[in-house]
């Protein structure tokens, strides 16, 4: 459907460009045109149209959902027209023919007016003629338009190699830690499509596991699924579980992920993220798991918060263990997941439904986004490409400004930003960066078989040395001393540079 929209927009552009040049050509010729001149003109217009399309594609004009176009995107369209016009005029100069040159100049002016007017018309229609949506929203705020998270990406969702994924999951025993969470549960939904021998859903929270169990029961899923209530912190219990089920593949999604909460509870972040991951890694090695795929985050790159720093330690654990284990250990990094528990979109939707304000921490803050199914599929794909020690990254194209996302979502739900629904800037939260990165400098970036998935070259650490440093946390955790924990994290992760203020910290208390 989205590709169809793009092709329609492209066809409309072609029509407008050809109409512009044809109209000028006929007017300049007083409609007295010989057949050989018409043929030459047709060939010239084909070349000029090609120039326009190449420039428009270079400016990524067809990547945007044009029914939700903004002023910025319309401005980008005007810029693309100007560049294409200049190239068209240069083409006319190279021919050196008076008629062709004058047609090029006047045709380019008309085309920029028509193409730009076409794009601007969507803004005018949205602003002045969108009465039905307004009436619908004002009459019943509970009947607002459902938000399609894919619309918010600004790009097409990534489609992955399902055959390759099926090859390593089919007829295997698969375990998902944190299997009841937003990412973990979607992983389970995707995994059952590939007919595993057995699926082990491991989660500490029985409510999450119960909800997923009921969903699969309603669907009549025939896969053998075991729901295991256990914490990744419990080393003895994990050993019993691994010994009983002997999984072939482990997807490790269990983790604390909320940045402000982990800033105030660093000991829990260490216990759950670092030691929890270490426990699952050691069990995977001990019980000969074939592949281990860990869910990581772009916040692990040059982290400025405790959550990101702990996830970087987790990456160091799997990369160092990979050197000494028969198990293939890999990690997958991605940005914010649209619609996941506690993510910005559900928060914004609730704020809009309650009449606002919509709260944004900083007007310039931006993030990479992906949908929950996209995140789960990327994790599965990483398992197919795994050789050991890699960190996989999804090409999420350009980051999205959170402020622009808030404005877009408010309009999508039938309101006007800062008119019907106020947007309030509340200041950065503890450990929050204005922008995220996906790779450290030393990791580099290499293409995989999939054009949207990249892999950073492994950066190995000595496992024994790493374990000595990690085990030093045990004494500090007993004291629950925040400053000591942070200092130890800074020692363990040299790229960790904490960013906090007393005012920001107080907002989390």
Tokens describing residue 62: 């067809």
Strand partners for 297:
none
Q: At what angle do helices 71-95 and 98-128 cross, to 10 degrees?
A: 170
Alpha-carbon torsion angle 504, 506, 508, 509, nearest 10? 170
DSSP element (H, E) containing 323: none
Question: Residue 465: CB partners within 8 Å, gap ≥ 6?
Answer: none
d(CA 265, CA 256): 10
d(CA 506, CA 238): 37
d(CA 99, CA 105): 10
Strands of 46-197, DSSP E: 173-177
Q: Helix (H, G, I), strand (E, B), or coil: what is residue 67?
A: helix
181 Rama class: left (phi>0) / alpha (psi -120 to 50) / beta: beta
d(CA 286, CA 249): 13
User: Cβ(272)–Cβ(233) under 8 Å?
Assistant: yes
End-to-end CA distance of the chain: 46
Residue 363 is among the residues annotated as catalytic for this protein: no
State how far Cα 73 lies from the chain centre.
20
Please give the backbone phi and psi of residue 117, each rounded to the nearest 5 degrees, phi first. Answer: -65, -40
Question: Residue 485: CB partners within 8 Å, gap ≥ 6?
Answer: 266, 267, 270, 306, 473, 476, 477
d(CA 117, CA 389): 52
Question: What does the radius of gyration of the chain's CA atoms come to, in whole angstroms?
Answer: 27
Q: Pick the catalytic residue from 299, 311, 401, 488.
A: 299
Q: Helix (H, G, I), strand (E, B), or coil: what is residue 410?
A: helix
Question: Residue 201: CB partners within 8 Å, gap ≥ 6?
Answer: 176, 179, 180, 184, 188, 209, 212, 213, 225, 226, 227, 228
Question: Residue 322: CB partners within 8 Å, gap ≥ 6?
Answer: 328, 329, 330, 388, 389, 458, 460
> The dihedral of CA 449, 452, 457, 460: what is its sign?
negative
Other beta carbons within 10 angstroms of residue 70's beta carbon come to: 16
Please give the backbone phi and psi of residue 174, each rounded to the nearest 5 degrees, phi first. Answer: -120, 135
Catalytic residues: 299
């Amino acid at each position: 459907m989205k590709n169809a929209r793009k092709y329609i927009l492209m066809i409309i552009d072609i029509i407008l460009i050809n109409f512009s040049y044809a109209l000028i050509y006929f007017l300049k010729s007083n409609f007295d045109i010989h057949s050989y001149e018409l043929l030459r003109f047709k060939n010239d217009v084909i070349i000029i149209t090609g120039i326009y399309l190449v420039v428009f594609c270079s400016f990524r004009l067809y990547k945007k959902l044009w029914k939700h176009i903004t002023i910025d995107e319309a401005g980008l369209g005007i810029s693309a027209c100007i560049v294409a016009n200049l190239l068209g005029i240069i083409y006319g100069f190279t021919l050196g023919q008076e008629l062709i040159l004058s047609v090029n100049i006047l045709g380019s002016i008309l085309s920029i007016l028509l193409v730009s007017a076409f794009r601007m018309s969507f803004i005018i229609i949205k602003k002045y003629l969108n009465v039905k949506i307004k009436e619908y929203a004002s009459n019943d705020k509970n009947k607002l338009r459902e938000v399609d998270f894919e619309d918010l990406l600004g790009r097409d969702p990534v489609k992955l190699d399902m055959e390759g994924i099926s090859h390593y999951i089919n007829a295997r025993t698969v375990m998902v830690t944190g299997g009841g969470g937003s990412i973990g549960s979607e992983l389970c939904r995707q995994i059952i499509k590939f007919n595993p021998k057995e699926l082990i859903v491991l989660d500490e929270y029985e409510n999450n596991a119960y909800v997923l169990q009921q969903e699969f029961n309603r669907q009549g899923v025939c896969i053998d699924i075991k729901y295991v209530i256990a914490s990744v912190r419990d080393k003895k219990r994990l050993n019993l579980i691994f010994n009983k089920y002997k999984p072939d593949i482990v997807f490790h999604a269990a983790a604390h992920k909320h940045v402000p909460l982990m800033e105030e509870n660093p000991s829990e972040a260490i216990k759950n993220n670092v030691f929890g991951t270490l426990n699952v890694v050691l069990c995977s090695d001990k019980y000969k798991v074939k592949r281990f795929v860990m869910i990581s985050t772009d916040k692990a790159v040059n982290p400025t918060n405790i959550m990101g720093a702990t996830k970087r330690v987790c990456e160091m654990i799997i990369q160092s263990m990979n050197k000494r284990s028969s198990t293939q250990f890999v990690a997958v990094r991605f940005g914010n997941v649209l619609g996941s528990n506690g993510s910005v979109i559900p928060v914004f939707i609730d704020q809009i439904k309650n009449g606002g304000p919509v709260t944004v921490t900083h007007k310039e803050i931006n993030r990479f986004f992906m949908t929950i199914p996209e995140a789960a599929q990327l994790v599965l794909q990483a398992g197919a490409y795994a050789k050991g020690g890699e960190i996989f990254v999804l090409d999420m194209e350009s980051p999205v400004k959170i402020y622009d996302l808030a404005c877009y979502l408010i309009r999508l739900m039938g309101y006007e930003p800062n008119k019907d629904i106020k947007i309030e800037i509340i200041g950065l939260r503890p450990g929050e960066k204005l922008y995220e990165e996906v790779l450290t400098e030393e990791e580099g970036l290499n293409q995989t078989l999939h054009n949207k998935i990249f892999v950073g070259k492994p950066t190995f650490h000595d496992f024994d040395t790493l374990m000595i440093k990690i085990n030093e946390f045990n004494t500090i955790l007993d004291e629950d001393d925040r400053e000591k924990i942070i200092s130890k994290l800074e020692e363990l992760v040299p790229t960790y540079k904490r960013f906090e203020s007393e005012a920001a910290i107080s907002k989390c208390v």
